[in-house]
Amino acid sequence: MDSALEASAEGMRALWISLVGLGITTVVQAFVVAYSGSVALLGDTLHNAADALTAVPLAIAFLVGRRPPTRRYTYGYGRAEDLAGIVIVLTIAASSVAAGYAAVQRLAEPQPVRHLAAVAVAALVGFAGNELVARYRIRVGRRIGSAALVADGLHARTDGFTSLAVLLGVGGVALGLPWADPVVGLLITLAILLVLRQAAREVWRRLMDAVDPALVDTMEEVLAGTPGVLAIGEARLRWVGHSLRAECAIVVDSRATVVQAHRIAVDAEHNLLHALPRLAGAVVHPDPQSDDDTDHHAVLATHR
């Protein structure tokens, strides 16, 4: 999620409409799979189904994440999105296992693929559905300035080419190569595994409180440029849902009064909120300057 998509009713509507489109595409393909026996088309159907089903945990997490903090959950419910990420990873993993198992089983026990024309049409439906969704998401994303929606559209476009791979299996079977269909099914399984790897990596990073190092660099530059900040101590960022939280320590003149030190901390927090768009809050702790200039906990403010 990004701020433009979150704040725009048009963006959320585009997300849901495109997911309904993927759902319809999946249902059409599933009917063809049922009476054709194509495992390549099965793999593509499971891929599209996983993409569509991921909207459910995300929607639940987004609604839960809007709940205000309580005395038990003092940071709010933003972590619900990380739990949704785990559900999404498990969903993709299940689809890859099902597609891979079906392809391997078909290689071990070959069976004829029926209604090749219908399978080819279903593959084209999968491509058309993903391409239409891709164009819609990209167009709306660019109009409202949502990088997340544009990226989702580009992902859907890639999935469309996966659907076209089913046509290779159809062509192979038509030429008398019955193994072509399960081999394409294995290739689609590999594509799903690549998506799984990327999703699992992102979810792992979020669970481990990873952030883009460039955000930390920006944070340190902003703190160093704040008048009154002599050095920077610990600087930490973490995601809570789709908002950032910051905790940092700054070094101020030991001769400064409590009020002056507080004012410097407030200015630093204000500058951070302007420099980091997704930052929801920052805790800035001012420490008095130490007589030991070699204090290894401080990073000299070079951008003052």
| Residue spans per domain, the chain | 3-207, 213-300
Taking a C-beta distance cutoff of 8 angstroms, is the pair 89, 199 a contact? yes
- Which two structure tokens, joined as six digits, stand for 165? 């791979």
Task: Using DSSP, state whether 282 is helix, strand or coil.
Answer: strand
Residues 187-212: tens digit of each pLDDT: 999 988 988 898 888 889 888 999 99
Asked whether the predicted pLDDT for residue 290 surpasses 90, the reply is no
- Which two structure tokens, joined as six digits, stand for 287? 């420490």
Task: Using DSSP, state whether 8 is helix, strand or coil.
Answer: coil
Give the architecture (CATH level 2) of 3-207. Up-down Bundle (1.20)
Q: CA 228 → CA 224, 253, 267, 289, 291, distances in Å? A: 9, 7, 9, 11, 17
Q: Which CATH class, in words, describes the domain spanning 213-300?
A: alpha beta
DSSP assignment of 122-165? HHHHHHHHHHHHHHHHHHHHHHHT-HHHHHHHHHHHHHHHHHHH
| 185/39 Cα distance (integer angstroms) | 6
Residues 47-106: tens digit of each pLDDT: 888 888 877 777 787 778 778 899 999 988 888 878 888 888 898 899 999 999 999 999
Taking a C-beta distance cutoff of 8 angstroms, is the pair 90, 148 a contact? no
User: Which of 9, 10, 7, 296 shows the shortest CA–CA distance to 140?
Assistant: 10
